[in-house]
Structure 1
Amino acid sequence: MHSIGIIPARYASTRLPGKPLIDLGGKSMIQRVVEQARQANLSRVVVATDDERIRKHVLGFGGEAVLTNPDHPSGTDRVWEAYQHLGTPADCVVNIQGDEPFVHAAQINALLALFADANTQIATLVKPVLNLEELLSPHLPKVVLGAQAEALYFSRHPVPYLRQHPQEQWLQHHPYLRHIGLYAYRPAVLQQLTQLAPAPLELAESLEQLRWLTHGFRIRTAETALETIGIDTPEDVARALAYLQRPGQYPST
Protein backbone atom coordinates (compact mmCIF):
# COMPACT_ATOMS: atom_id res chain seq x y z
CA MET A 1 0.00 0.00 0.00
CA HIS A 2 1.34 3.42 -0.97
CA SER A 3 0.78 5.82 1.93
CA ILE A 4 1.87 9.41 2.37
CA GLY A 5 2.26 11.17 5.70
CA ILE A 6 1.64 14.92 5.52
CA ILE A 7 2.48 17.20 8.44
CA PRO A 8 0.69 20.60 8.47
CA ALA A 9 2.96 23.23 10.02
CA ARG A 10 1.83 26.86 10.32
CA TYR A 11 4.20 29.58 11.47
CA ALA A 12 1.55 31.74 13.11
CA SER A 13 0.40 30.79 16.59
CA THR A 14 -1.28 33.02 19.15
CA ARG A 15 0.51 31.50 22.12
CA LEU A 16 3.70 30.22 20.44
CA PRO A 17 4.64 32.14 17.26
CA GLY A 18 7.00 30.11 15.07
CA LYS A 19 5.97 26.99 16.97
CA PRO A 20 7.32 24.43 14.43
CA LEU A 21 10.82 25.92 14.82
CA ILE A 22 10.92 25.83 18.62
CA ASP A 23 14.03 24.07 19.89
CA LEU A 24 13.39 20.89 21.84
CA GLY A 25 16.64 19.48 23.14
CA GLY A 26 18.76 20.44 20.13
CA LYS A 27 16.20 19.70 17.41
CA SER A 28 13.25 21.72 16.21
CA MET A 29 9.77 20.46 16.96
CA ILE A 30 9.05 19.89 13.26
CA GLN A 31 12.26 17.88 12.82
CA ARG A 32 11.24 15.62 15.68
CA VAL A 33 7.79 15.08 14.13
CA VAL A 34 9.35 14.21 10.75
CA GLU A 35 11.84 11.79 12.31
CA GLN A 36 9.11 10.03 14.27
CA ALA A 37 6.88 9.76 11.19
CA ARG A 38 9.72 8.31 9.12
CA GLN A 39 9.85 5.34 11.48
CA ALA A 40 6.32 4.33 10.43
CA ASN A 41 5.34 2.29 7.39
CA LEU A 42 4.85 5.36 5.23
CA SER A 43 6.04 5.59 1.65
CA ARG A 44 6.73 9.32 1.98
CA VAL A 45 6.70 12.03 4.67
CA VAL A 46 6.11 15.67 3.67
CA VAL A 47 5.71 18.89 5.65
CA ALA A 48 2.93 21.21 4.40
CA THR A 49 3.72 24.74 5.54
CA ASP A 50 2.60 28.31 4.89
CA ASP A 51 5.99 29.85 5.60
CA GLU A 52 9.26 29.88 3.66
CA ARG A 53 11.30 29.83 6.88
CA ILE A 54 9.79 26.48 7.84
CA ARG A 55 10.21 25.07 4.32
CA LYS A 56 13.91 26.02 4.23
CA HIS A 57 14.46 24.60 7.70
CA VAL A 58 12.87 21.27 6.75
CA LEU A 59 14.94 21.04 3.57
CA GLY A 60 18.01 21.88 5.65
CA PHE A 61 17.73 18.76 7.82
CA GLY A 62 16.97 16.56 4.81
CA GLY A 63 13.18 16.60 4.95
CA GLU A 64 10.65 17.24 2.22
CA ALA A 65 8.34 20.26 2.32
CA VAL A 66 5.84 22.11 0.15
CA LEU A 67 4.46 25.64 0.47
CA THR A 68 0.71 25.93 0.79
CA ASN A 69 -1.87 28.72 0.95
CA PRO A 70 -1.60 30.61 4.28
CA ASP A 71 -5.37 31.13 4.42
CA HIS A 72 -6.54 27.53 4.84
CA PRO A 73 -9.22 27.27 7.54
CA SER A 74 -7.97 23.88 8.78
CA GLY A 75 -5.12 21.43 8.65
CA THR A 76 -7.33 19.13 6.57
CA ASP A 77 -7.45 21.71 3.78
CA ARG A 78 -3.69 22.21 3.96
CA VAL A 79 -3.10 18.46 3.73
CA TRP A 80 -5.30 18.21 0.63
CA GLU A 81 -3.46 21.05 -1.13
CA ALA A 82 -0.09 19.48 -0.28
CA TYR A 83 -1.23 16.11 -1.60
CA GLN A 84 -2.22 17.73 -4.90
CA HIS A 85 1.24 19.36 -5.16
CA LEU A 86 2.98 16.02 -4.77
CA GLY A 87 1.46 14.50 -7.90
CA THR A 88 1.91 10.97 -6.56
CA PRO A 89 -1.23 8.82 -6.19
CA ALA A 90 -1.62 7.18 -2.79
CA ASP A 91 -3.93 4.61 -1.24
CA CYS A 92 -3.93 6.48 2.04
CA VAL A 93 -3.00 9.96 3.30
CA VAL A 94 -2.14 10.43 6.98
CA ASN A 95 -2.55 13.85 8.61
CA ILE A 96 0.16 13.96 11.28
CA GLN A 97 -0.09 16.85 13.74
CA GLY A 98 2.89 19.18 13.44
CA ASP A 99 2.87 19.89 17.18
CA GLU A 100 3.19 16.25 18.31
CA PRO A 101 6.99 15.78 18.45
CA PHE A 102 6.75 12.37 20.09
CA VAL A 103 4.09 10.74 17.92
CA HIS A 104 4.71 6.99 17.83
CA ALA A 105 5.28 5.03 14.64
CA ALA A 106 3.01 2.33 16.09
CA GLN A 107 0.14 4.81 16.24
CA ILE A 108 0.53 5.71 12.56
CA ASN A 109 0.86 2.04 11.63
CA ALA A 110 -2.34 1.21 13.53
CA LEU A 111 -4.24 3.60 11.26
CA LEU A 112 -2.58 2.27 8.12
CA ALA A 113 -3.66 -1.26 9.03
CA LEU A 114 -7.31 -0.20 8.93
CA PHE A 115 -6.96 0.59 5.22
CA ALA A 116 -6.44 -3.08 4.39
CA ASP A 117 -10.26 -2.99 4.41
CA ALA A 118 -11.37 -1.33 1.17
CA ASN A 119 -14.43 0.09 2.96
CA THR A 120 -12.39 2.29 5.30
CA GLN A 121 -12.94 5.97 4.49
CA ILE A 122 -11.39 7.78 7.45
CA ALA A 123 -9.46 6.44 10.42
CA THR A 124 -8.38 7.97 13.71
CA LEU A 125 -7.12 6.94 17.16
CA VAL A 126 -8.79 6.55 20.54
CA LYS A 127 -7.24 6.04 23.96
CA PRO A 128 -8.77 4.92 27.27
CA VAL A 129 -9.46 7.74 29.70
CA LEU A 130 -7.32 7.11 32.76
CA ASN A 131 -8.60 9.52 35.39
CA LEU A 132 -11.32 12.01 36.26
CA GLU A 133 -9.14 14.97 35.24
CA GLU A 134 -8.90 13.63 31.68
CA LEU A 135 -12.59 12.78 31.62
CA LEU A 136 -13.68 16.29 32.60
CA SER A 137 -11.13 18.24 30.54
CA PRO A 138 -12.74 20.06 27.56
CA HIS A 139 -9.30 20.07 25.92
CA LEU A 140 -9.37 16.26 25.57
CA PRO A 141 -12.33 15.34 23.33
CA LYS A 142 -14.15 12.15 24.15
CA VAL A 143 -15.59 9.69 21.63
CA VAL A 144 -18.26 7.00 21.70
CA LEU A 145 -18.04 4.03 19.36
CA GLY A 146 -20.43 1.62 17.70
CA ALA A 147 -20.08 -2.15 17.58
CA GLN A 148 -17.60 -2.04 14.68
CA ALA A 149 -15.35 0.52 16.40
CA GLU A 150 -16.74 3.29 14.22
CA ALA A 151 -17.18 6.71 15.82
CA LEU A 152 -20.75 7.64 16.70
CA TYR A 153 -20.01 11.03 18.26
CA PHE A 154 -17.20 13.22 19.58
CA SER A 155 -17.63 15.70 22.42
CA ARG A 156 -15.64 17.93 24.73
CA HIS A 157 -18.07 16.83 27.45
CA PRO A 158 -17.90 13.33 28.98
CA VAL A 159 -20.15 11.04 26.94
CA PRO A 160 -22.15 9.01 27.68
CA TYR A 161 -23.84 10.64 30.67
CA LEU A 162 -24.30 8.02 33.42
CA ARG A 163 -27.46 9.27 35.09
CA GLN A 164 -27.53 6.47 37.67
CA HIS A 165 -24.08 7.28 39.14
CA PRO A 166 -22.40 10.39 40.57
CA GLN A 167 -19.91 11.89 38.14
CA GLU A 168 -16.87 11.08 40.27
CA GLN A 169 -17.74 7.38 39.89
CA TRP A 170 -18.31 7.32 36.13
CA LEU A 171 -14.94 5.75 35.29
CA GLN A 172 -15.76 2.86 37.60
CA HIS A 173 -18.82 1.99 35.55
CA HIS A 174 -17.96 2.77 31.92
CA PRO A 175 -14.81 2.48 29.72
CA TYR A 176 -14.57 6.07 28.49
CA LEU A 177 -12.41 6.86 25.46
CA ARG A 178 -10.66 10.07 24.47
CA HIS A 179 -9.79 11.06 20.93
CA ILE A 180 -6.19 11.33 19.68
CA GLY A 181 -6.05 13.76 16.73
CA LEU A 182 -4.21 11.65 14.18
CA TYR A 183 -6.19 11.04 10.98
CA ALA A 184 -5.87 8.98 7.82
CA TYR A 185 -8.05 9.21 4.72
CA ARG A 186 -8.64 7.80 1.29
CA PRO A 187 -7.54 10.63 -1.05
CA ALA A 188 -10.94 10.79 -2.74
CA VAL A 189 -12.60 11.11 0.66
CA LEU A 190 -10.11 13.78 1.74
CA GLN A 191 -11.05 15.83 -1.31
CA GLN A 192 -14.75 15.55 -0.44
CA LEU A 193 -14.13 16.61 3.16
CA THR A 194 -12.56 19.89 2.03
CA GLN A 195 -15.74 20.73 0.11
CA LEU A 196 -18.13 20.36 3.04
CA ALA A 197 -19.74 23.35 4.71
CA PRO A 198 -19.37 23.70 8.50
CA ALA A 199 -22.07 21.84 10.43
CA PRO A 200 -24.01 22.99 13.52
CA LEU A 201 -22.57 20.23 15.72
CA GLU A 202 -19.04 21.12 14.62
CA LEU A 203 -19.60 24.78 15.45
CA ALA A 204 -21.13 23.90 18.82
CA GLU A 205 -18.25 21.65 19.94
CA SER A 206 -15.46 23.19 17.81
CA LEU A 207 -14.57 19.72 16.52
CA GLU A 208 -14.07 19.40 12.77
CA GLN A 209 -14.72 15.65 12.69
CA LEU A 210 -18.37 16.29 13.60
CA ARG A 211 -18.76 17.90 10.17
CA TRP A 212 -17.74 14.61 8.59
CA LEU A 213 -20.14 12.54 10.69
CA THR A 214 -22.95 14.99 10.01
CA HIS A 215 -22.47 14.47 6.27
CA GLY A 216 -22.52 10.68 6.56
CA PHE A 217 -18.83 9.79 6.41
CA ARG A 218 -17.70 6.83 8.49
CA ILE A 219 -14.76 7.15 10.87
CA ARG A 220 -13.08 3.93 11.93
CA THR A 221 -10.90 3.87 15.01
CA ALA A 222 -7.90 2.03 16.35
CA GLU A 223 -7.12 2.01 20.07
CA THR A 224 -3.76 3.04 21.46
CA ALA A 225 -2.39 2.98 24.99
CA LEU A 226 0.54 5.21 24.01
CA GLU A 227 0.64 8.79 25.24
CA THR A 228 1.84 11.86 23.33
CA ILE A 229 2.60 15.48 24.21
CA GLY A 230 0.96 18.18 22.12
CA ILE A 231 2.73 21.55 22.13
CA ASP A 232 0.39 24.54 22.43
CA THR A 233 1.78 26.61 25.30
CA PRO A 234 5.12 27.43 26.97
CA GLU A 235 4.08 24.99 29.71
CA ASP A 236 3.82 22.24 27.10
CA VAL A 237 7.36 23.04 25.95
CA ALA A 238 8.56 22.57 29.53
CA ARG A 239 6.75 19.21 29.70
CA ALA A 240 8.37 18.11 26.45
CA LEU A 241 11.83 19.08 27.69
CA ALA A 242 11.17 17.15 30.90
CA TYR A 243 10.19 14.12 28.83
CA LEU A 244 13.45 14.32 26.87
CA GLN A 245 15.31 14.08 30.18
CA ARG A 246 13.36 10.92 31.10
CA PRO A 247 12.12 9.20 27.91
CA GLY A 248 9.16 6.94 28.46
CA GLN A 249 7.83 8.91 31.42
CA TYR A 250 5.27 11.37 30.12
CA PRO A 251 4.60 14.32 32.44
CA SER A 252 0.96 14.58 33.46
CA THR A 253 -1.36 16.94 31.58
Structure 2
Amino acid sequence: MPPCYGIIPARYASTRFPGKPLVEILGKPMFWHVWARASRCPELRTVVLATDDERIEAAAKKHGVPVVMTRSDHVSGTDRVNEAAALLGVEEEAVVVNIQGDEPALDPAMLSHLVAPFADEAVRAATLAHAIDAERAAVPDQVKVVFTVRRDALYFSRAAVPHPRNADGAGFFGHIGMYAFRRSTLARFTTLPQGELEKRESLEQLRLLENDIPIRVVLVETGTRGVDRPEDLAAVTALLSEHHRE
Protein backbone atom coordinates (compact mmCIF):
# COMPACT_ATOMS: atom_id res chain seq x y z
CA MET A 1 0.00 0.00 0.00
CA PRO A 2 1.18 3.56 -0.69
CA PRO A 3 1.23 6.01 2.24
CA CYS A 4 -2.25 7.37 3.01
CA TYR A 5 -3.21 10.72 4.54
CA GLY A 6 -6.58 11.96 5.77
CA ILE A 7 -7.59 15.61 5.35
CA ILE A 8 -10.79 17.09 6.77
CA PRO A 9 -11.86 20.33 5.01
CA ALA A 10 -13.68 22.65 7.41
CA ARG A 11 -15.15 26.07 6.67
CA TYR A 12 -17.23 28.23 8.95
CA ALA A 13 -19.66 29.53 6.34
CA SER A 14 -22.56 27.25 5.42
CA THR A 15 -25.90 28.13 3.87
CA ARG A 16 -27.84 25.55 5.84
CA PHE A 17 -25.75 25.43 9.01
CA PRO A 18 -23.28 28.30 9.66
CA GLY A 19 -20.48 27.40 12.07
CA LYS A 20 -21.20 23.69 11.72
CA PRO A 21 -17.62 22.45 12.39
CA LEU A 22 -17.69 24.12 15.81
CA VAL A 23 -21.09 22.90 16.99
CA GLU A 24 -20.68 21.04 20.27
CA ILE A 25 -21.51 17.35 20.51
CA LEU A 26 -20.97 15.61 23.85
CA GLY A 27 -18.66 18.39 24.97
CA LYS A 28 -16.41 18.51 21.89
CA PRO A 29 -16.69 20.36 18.55
CA MET A 30 -17.99 18.31 15.64
CA PHE A 31 -14.66 18.36 13.81
CA TRP A 32 -13.00 16.73 16.84
CA HIS A 33 -15.30 13.72 16.60
CA VAL A 34 -14.57 13.36 12.87
CA TRP A 35 -10.83 13.59 13.49
CA ALA A 36 -10.88 11.21 16.47
CA ARG A 37 -12.80 8.53 14.59
CA ALA A 38 -10.82 8.93 11.36
CA SER A 39 -7.60 8.65 13.36
CA ARG A 40 -8.61 5.10 14.29
CA CYS A 41 -8.14 4.02 10.67
CA PRO A 42 -4.84 2.07 10.74
CA GLU A 43 -4.00 2.85 7.10
CA LEU A 44 -3.87 6.61 7.65
CA ARG A 45 -0.46 7.98 8.63
CA THR A 46 -2.03 11.18 9.90
CA VAL A 47 -5.35 13.03 9.85
CA VAL A 48 -5.28 16.83 9.55
CA LEU A 49 -7.94 19.55 9.63
CA ALA A 50 -7.79 22.10 6.78
CA THR A 51 -9.57 25.42 7.32
CA ASP A 52 -9.51 29.10 6.41
CA ASP A 53 -11.16 30.27 9.63
CA GLU A 54 -9.20 31.45 12.66
CA ARG A 55 -11.96 30.35 15.04
CA ILE A 56 -11.76 26.79 13.75
CA GLU A 57 -7.96 26.90 13.82
CA ALA A 58 -7.97 28.07 17.45
CA ALA A 59 -10.44 25.37 18.48
CA ALA A 60 -8.36 22.70 16.72
CA LYS A 61 -5.23 23.73 18.59
CA LYS A 62 -7.16 23.80 21.87
CA HIS A 63 -8.32 20.22 21.34
CA GLY A 64 -5.03 18.86 20.02
CA VAL A 65 -6.13 18.40 16.41
CA PRO A 66 -3.44 18.96 13.73
CA VAL A 67 -4.53 21.87 11.54
CA VAL A 68 -3.33 23.76 8.45
CA MET A 69 -4.60 27.14 7.29
CA THR A 70 -5.66 27.38 3.65
CA ARG A 71 -6.90 30.12 1.35
CA SER A 72 -10.42 31.48 1.76
CA ASP A 73 -11.33 31.53 -1.94
CA HIS A 74 -11.69 27.80 -2.59
CA VAL A 75 -14.78 26.82 -4.55
CA SER A 76 -15.02 23.36 -2.99
CA GLY A 77 -13.72 21.18 -0.20
CA THR A 78 -11.71 19.22 -2.76
CA ASP A 79 -9.76 22.35 -3.68
CA ARG A 80 -9.06 22.97 0.01
CA VAL A 81 -7.87 19.38 0.46
CA ASN A 82 -5.54 19.77 -2.52
CA GLU A 83 -3.94 22.91 -1.07
CA ALA A 84 -3.56 21.22 2.32
CA ALA A 85 -1.90 18.19 0.70
CA ALA A 86 0.57 20.53 -1.00
CA LEU A 87 1.29 22.35 2.27
CA LEU A 88 1.88 19.01 3.98
CA GLY A 89 4.27 17.87 1.25
CA VAL A 90 2.28 14.73 0.43
CA GLU A 91 4.08 12.52 -2.09
CA GLU A 92 2.87 12.39 -5.72
CA GLU A 93 1.75 8.75 -5.59
CA ALA A 94 0.52 8.82 -2.00
CA VAL A 95 -3.21 8.59 -1.32
CA VAL A 96 -5.17 11.57 -0.02
CA VAL A 97 -8.53 10.89 1.61
CA ASN A 98 -11.08 13.70 1.61
CA ILE A 99 -12.93 13.16 4.90
CA GLN A 100 -16.20 15.05 5.19
CA GLY A 101 -16.24 17.29 8.26
CA ASP A 102 -19.93 16.67 8.99
CA GLU A 103 -19.56 12.92 9.70
CA PRO A 104 -18.95 12.81 13.48
CA ALA A 105 -20.23 9.21 13.64
CA LEU A 106 -17.85 8.07 10.90
CA ASP A 107 -16.98 4.36 10.92
CA PRO A 108 -13.15 4.12 10.61
CA ALA A 109 -13.55 0.81 8.76
CA MET A 110 -15.11 2.72 5.86
CA LEU A 111 -11.84 4.57 5.37
CA SER A 112 -9.97 1.26 5.33
CA HIS A 113 -12.32 0.01 2.60
CA LEU A 114 -11.90 3.27 0.69
CA VAL A 115 -8.09 3.10 0.47
CA ALA A 116 -7.83 -0.66 -0.13
CA PRO A 117 -8.07 -0.40 -3.97
CA PHE A 118 -4.86 1.66 -4.09
CA ALA A 119 -2.83 -1.50 -3.64
CA ASP A 120 -3.40 -1.60 -7.43
CA GLU A 121 -1.09 0.99 -9.02
CA ALA A 122 -3.65 1.63 -11.78
CA VAL A 123 -6.28 3.02 -9.38
CA ARG A 124 -6.30 6.83 -9.40
CA ALA A 125 -9.44 7.62 -7.41
CA ALA A 126 -11.95 5.71 -5.29
CA THR A 127 -15.27 6.23 -3.56
CA LEU A 128 -17.92 4.25 -1.66
CA ALA A 129 -21.46 3.05 -2.37
CA HIS A 130 -24.08 0.79 -0.81
CA ALA A 131 -27.28 -0.92 -1.92
CA ILE A 132 -30.47 1.12 -1.52
CA ASP A 133 -34.13 0.45 -2.23
CA ALA A 134 -36.27 2.01 -4.96
CA GLU A 135 -37.91 4.46 -2.55
CA ARG A 136 -34.55 5.88 -1.52
CA ALA A 137 -33.34 5.88 -5.13
CA ALA A 138 -36.22 8.19 -6.06
CA VAL A 139 -34.83 10.95 -3.79
CA PRO A 140 -32.72 13.45 -5.82
CA ASP A 141 -30.51 14.29 -2.83
CA GLN A 142 -29.44 10.63 -2.75
CA VAL A 143 -26.88 10.33 -5.52
CA LYS A 144 -26.86 7.02 -7.38
CA VAL A 145 -23.94 5.30 -9.11
CA VAL A 146 -23.67 2.62 -11.78
CA PHE A 147 -20.40 0.81 -12.45
CA THR A 148 -18.61 -1.80 -14.55
CA VAL A 149 -17.93 -5.43 -13.59
CA ARG A 150 -14.55 -4.21 -12.27
CA ARG A 151 -16.50 -1.61 -10.28
CA ASP A 152 -15.18 1.43 -12.08
CA ALA A 153 -17.89 4.10 -12.09
CA LEU A 154 -19.85 4.54 -15.31
CA TYR A 155 -22.01 7.43 -14.09
CA PHE A 156 -23.30 9.25 -11.03
CA SER A 157 -26.76 10.79 -11.09
CA ARG A 158 -29.47 12.35 -8.99
CA ALA A 159 -31.93 10.43 -11.16
CA ALA A 160 -32.86 6.82 -10.36
CA VAL A 161 -30.31 4.98 -12.48
CA PRO A 162 -30.47 2.44 -13.93
CA HIS A 163 -34.08 3.01 -14.95
CA PRO A 164 -36.02 -0.19 -13.98
CA ARG A 165 -38.04 -0.51 -17.18
CA ASN A 166 -38.19 -4.30 -17.13
CA ALA A 167 -37.33 -5.00 -13.50
CA ASP A 168 -38.87 -4.78 -10.05
CA GLY A 169 -36.97 -1.67 -8.98
CA ALA A 170 -34.09 -3.47 -7.25
CA GLY A 171 -30.41 -3.00 -8.02
CA PHE A 172 -29.81 0.63 -7.00
CA PHE A 173 -26.58 1.75 -5.37
CA GLY A 174 -26.40 4.95 -3.36
CA HIS A 175 -23.19 6.93 -3.49
CA ILE A 176 -21.45 7.75 -0.20
CA GLY A 177 -19.61 11.07 -0.53
CA MET A 178 -16.15 9.98 0.57
CA TYR A 179 -13.25 10.14 -1.87
CA ALA A 180 -9.63 9.09 -2.02
CA PHE A 181 -7.18 10.23 -4.70
CA ARG A 182 -3.61 9.72 -5.73
CA ARG A 183 -1.99 13.04 -4.88
CA SER A 184 -1.11 13.67 -8.56
CA THR A 185 -4.70 12.92 -9.63
CA LEU A 186 -6.10 15.26 -6.97
CA ALA A 187 -3.83 18.05 -8.20
CA ARG A 188 -4.92 17.47 -11.80
CA PHE A 189 -8.59 17.35 -10.83
CA THR A 190 -8.45 20.85 -9.35
CA THR A 191 -7.02 22.28 -12.60
CA LEU A 192 -9.77 20.87 -14.83
CA PRO A 193 -12.70 23.09 -15.86
CA GLN A 194 -16.21 22.12 -14.83
CA GLY A 195 -17.76 19.63 -17.24
CA GLU A 196 -21.21 19.90 -18.77
CA LEU A 197 -22.48 16.80 -16.96
CA GLU A 198 -21.05 18.10 -13.70
CA LYS A 199 -22.94 21.36 -14.16
CA ARG A 200 -26.21 19.64 -15.04
CA GLU A 201 -26.17 17.22 -12.14
CA SER A 202 -24.25 19.51 -9.76
CA LEU A 203 -21.98 16.57 -8.99
CA GLU A 204 -18.27 17.36 -8.76
CA GLN A 205 -17.13 13.76 -9.27
CA LEU A 206 -18.46 13.73 -12.84
CA ARG A 207 -15.54 16.00 -13.76
CA LEU A 208 -13.25 13.01 -13.36
CA LEU A 209 -15.35 10.75 -15.57
CA GLU A 210 -15.73 13.44 -18.23
CA ASN A 211 -11.94 13.62 -18.39
CA ASP A 212 -11.42 9.84 -18.61
CA ILE A 213 -10.15 9.50 -15.05
CA PRO A 214 -11.68 6.30 -13.63
CA ILE A 215 -13.18 6.10 -10.14
CA ARG A 216 -13.11 2.73 -8.40
CA VAL A 217 -16.34 2.10 -6.47
CA VAL A 218 -16.06 0.12 -3.23
CA LEU A 219 -19.27 -1.44 -1.94
CA VAL A 220 -19.98 -1.35 1.79
CA GLU A 221 -22.95 -2.63 3.75
CA THR A 222 -24.38 0.62 5.10
CA GLY A 223 -24.35 4.35 4.50
CA THR A 224 -23.36 7.13 6.89
CA ARG A 225 -25.29 9.40 9.24
CA GLY A 226 -24.02 12.94 8.74
CA VAL A 227 -25.11 16.37 9.95
CA ASP A 228 -26.54 18.45 7.12
CA ARG A 229 -28.91 20.59 9.21
CA PRO A 230 -29.31 21.46 12.91
CA GLU A 231 -32.20 19.02 13.18
CA ASP A 232 -29.79 16.13 12.41
CA LEU A 233 -27.85 16.71 15.63
CA ALA A 234 -30.16 14.80 17.97
CA ALA A 235 -29.91 11.54 16.05
CA VAL A 236 -26.14 11.79 15.60
CA THR A 237 -25.64 12.67 19.28
CA ALA A 238 -27.65 9.61 20.27
CA LEU A 239 -25.56 7.44 17.94
CA LEU A 240 -22.30 8.76 19.38
CA SER A 241 -23.58 8.26 22.92
CA GLU A 242 -24.25 4.63 22.05
CA HIS A 243 -20.71 4.27 20.65
CA HIS A 244 -19.26 5.71 23.86
CA ARG A 245 -21.11 3.11 25.93
CA GLU A 246 -19.71 0.20 23.87
Which TM-score bucket, shorter chain as reference? over 0.9
Shift of 1:241: 2.0
> What TM-score does the superposition give when structure 1 sets the normalisation length?
0.91
Report the equivalent of 2:113. Answer: 110
> What TM-score does the superposition give when structure 2 sets the normalisation length?
0.94
* Aligned partners of 2:134 and 2:172 also within 8 Å: no
Shift of 1:243: 2.0
* Aligned partners of 2:131 and 2:172 also within 8 Å: yes
* Aligned partners of 2:96 and 2:183 also within 8 Å: yes
Matched position secondary structure for 2:235: helix
2:98 is aligned, of 90, 95, 98, to 95
Matches of 1:201 and 1:219 in 2, distance apart? 16
Report the equivalent of 1:125. Answer: 128
The answer to whether structure 1 residue 202 and structure 2 residue 202 are counterparts is: no
Report the equivalent of 1:251. Answer: none
Read off the aligned partner of 2:49 and give its amino acid letter. Answer: V
Matched position secondary structure for 1:43: strand
The answer to whether structure 1 residue 24 and structure 2 residue 25 are counterparts is: yes
Shift of 1:11: 0.5
The correspondence of residues 221-240 of structure 1 with structure 2, limited to 5 A, is 221-240=217-236
Q: Percent identity?
A: 45
Matches of 2:39 and 2:242 in 1, distance apart? 22
Matches of 1:242 and 1:38 in 2, distance apart? 21
Report the equivalent of 2:136. Answer: 134
Matches of 1:49 and 1:127 in 2, distance apart? 30
Matches of 2:218 and 2:90 in 1, distance apart? 26
Shift of 1:227: 3.1
The correspondence of residues 40-189 of structure 1 with structure 2, limited to 5 A, is 40=41, 41-89=43-91, 91-129=94-132, 131-165=133-167, 169-171=168-170, 175-189=171-185
Matched position secondary structure for 1:170: coil
Deviations 1:25-75 (A, max 9, x none): 222110000001100020011111110111111111111011111111111
The answer to whether structure 1 residue 190 and structure 2 residue 189 are counterparts is: no
How many positions carry a matched residue from both structures? 241
Shift of 1:215: 0.7
Matches of 1:185 and 1:224 in 2, distance apart? 18
2:209 is aligned, of 205, 208, 213, to 213
Deviations 1:197-236 (A, max 9, x none): 0111111111001111001100001111133212111111
Matches of 2:148 and 2:101 in 1, distance apart? 29
Read off the aligned partner of 2:129 and give its amino acid letter. Answer: V
Deviations 1:128-163 (A, max 9, x none): 11x333111111100001010000000011101122
Q: Which runs of 5+ in 1 are unaligned?
A: 249-253
Read off the aligned partner of 1:154 and give its amino acid letter. Answer: F
Matches of 2:102 and 2:237 in 1, distance apart? 14
